């Protein structure tokens, strides 16, 4: 009998390996965690360097940039999403990221 936890780790690992977006691999990820919202189970992960959050399971097969609120997860708007997916890890937290998250207005 295979323990459930190790099976799940294998699943998570295969998700991570599915990243074909090289930019995402430049981030330094914390261990992914699951989050239930609207009947879906999302997998969340955050970069320890830039603090950007991404989720898997929002629709589609790729990690999407998100804003992680206290009780809910929001996918970022198109412009921010495309930027976060096409940029390498900035290596630090950027004030402009809060604009992308919709917390701060320009
Ligand atoms: Zn990063």
Write out pLDDT tens, residues 43-101. 999 999 999 999 999 877 789 999 998 888 999 999 999 999 999 999 999 999 999 99
What pLDDT score does 17 carry?
Answer: 47
State phi, psi for 36 to the nearest 5 degrees.
-95, 130
57, 37 contact by CB (below 8 A): no
93, 101 contact by CB (below 8 A): no
Enter the pTM of the model: 0.76
State phi, psi for 102 to the nearest 5 degrees.
85, 10
- How far does the centroid of ligand 1 lie from the alpha carbon of residue 2, in Å? 34
- How far does the centroid of ligand 1 lie from the alpha carbon of residue 69, in Å? 18
- How far does the centroid of ligand 1 lie from the alpha carbon of residue 88, in Å? 7
Rounded to whole angstroms, the Cα distance separating 1 from 41 reads: 25
Give the count of beta carbons closer than 10 Å to the beta carbon of residue 61. Answer: 9
């Amino acid at each position: 009998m295979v323990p459930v936890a190790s099976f799940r780790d294998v699943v998570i690992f295969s998700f991570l390996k599915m990243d074909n977006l090289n930019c995402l691999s430049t981030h330094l990820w914390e261990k992914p965690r699951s989050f239930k919202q609207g009947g879906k189970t999302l997998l969340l992960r955050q970069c320890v360097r830039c603090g950007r959050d991404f989720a898997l399971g929002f629709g589609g097969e790729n990690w999407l940039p998100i804003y992680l609120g206290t009780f809910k997860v929001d996918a970022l708007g198109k412009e921010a999403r495309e930027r976060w997916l096409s940029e390498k890890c900035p290596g630090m937290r950027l004030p402009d990221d809060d604009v992308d998250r919709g917390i701060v207005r320009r």
